[in-house]
Structure 1
Amino acid sequence: MTWQNEIDITVRSTEIDVNGHVNNAKFLEYLEWGREDWYEQLGLDYATLRDLGVVTVVVNVNANYRREARQNDNLRVRTNLLRVGRTSFVMAQEIVNQRGERILDAEITLVTIDPVARSKVPVPDRIRQYALER
């Protein structure tokens, strides 16, 4: 698969849990960093989304933890907009290590909401255009 966005992360000592590997919750933060970079690289930063009348909210995370990651590992977070519904969309993400081994893969469902009314609104075409599955 060709990825729309990739960022690199080096695992720091503060991200390690008592088991000596990256804590599972930290991986969710890595995925968030990847999604935020995806938005910014496509010109969909927070201010632009608000100008479009939407903000995005994560409503479901389906993550498969495949391997552990340890301190000083170099990780790459890859992100794609997979598919878009009327008021929601699904992003595919994966994290691989410096050896190319898949550490985690996930599908994240987000909903677009009106930032004032806090109710669902249609996904703007400005986001919709990047979906891989049409």
Structure 2
Amino acid sequence: MAAGSGWRDGWYIVPWQVIFRDIDTFGHVNNAVYFTYFEWARTSMWLELTGGSKSTDVSFIVVRAECDFRQQISMEPIEIRVRIGDMRTTAFDTHYEIRTSNGQQIAAIGKVVVVLFDWKKQMKTAITDELRKKVRLFQKEAE
């Protein structure tokens, strides 16, 4: 789990300090870096949900990713928020907000669709009822 991360208001929140490497020649975070932020939050959330601790505990693959950029981000502290949305048979949506100004300003929103994947069998796998229940519990949703 990323330091300072945790669940709040149905979101898994990962604090991050934007670093020099993330900034492009225009002085703001490069658009491609936002997807790295999404990845970091998604992986941190997944490991928290499943009790995993290493990269081999990540049992999904990305099949679609999108981002709407609302405002520029500079070298400042941000919050990366992630939550699981619709869960289908083998795939689920992850929704994101990247916030600045102590969580007050939304700089970007995004959605990534992932498919659960069995790395040994090299095939997708079904979302279990146990995982669905755990997601609802962590996100404090009614069953």
Mapped partners of 1:18, 1:82: distance in 2: 35
Q: How far has the Cα of 1:41 moved from its partner?
A: 2.1
The TM-score, its normalising length taken from structure 1, stands at 0.84
Q: Report Cα offsets for 1:71-102 as digits up to 9, x if no partner.
A: 1x110011111110001000111100025111
TM-score, structure 2 as length reference: 0.79
* Counterpart code for 1:18: T
Residues in 2 aligned to 1:107 and 1:126: alpha-carbon distance in whole angstroms: 23
Deviation at 1:46, TM superposition (A): 6.0
Matched with 1:115 is 119
User: What letter is aligned with 1:9?
Assistant: W
2:21 to 14, 19, 32: 14
1:84 paired residue number: 87
Q: Does 2:132 correspond to 1:128?
A: yes
Letter of the 1:68 partner, please give it: Q
Aligned length, in residue pairs: 129
1-side partners of 2:52 and 2:42: how far apart? 11
Distance in 1, Cα, partners of 2:117 & 2:50: 19
Q: Partners of 2:107 and 2:77 in 1: how far apart? A: 11
Identity percentage over the alignment? Answer: 22
Mark the runs of 5 or more structure 2 residues left unpaired by the alignment: 1-7
1:1-134 equivalence runs, <5 A: 2-45=9-52, 55-71=59-75, 73-98=76-101, 100-129=104-133, 130-131=135-136
Runs (4+) of structure 1 exceeding 6 A deviation are: none
**Is the 1:6–1:76 contact (alpha carbons within 8 Å) kept by the matching residues of 2?**
yes
Between the aligned partners of 1:94 and 1:82, the Cα distance in structure 2 is: 13
Measured against aligned partners, the alpha-carbon deviations of 1:27-47 in whole angstroms (never above 9, x if no partner) come to 111111111111122234266
Give distance in 2, aligned partners of 1:126 and 1:63.
30
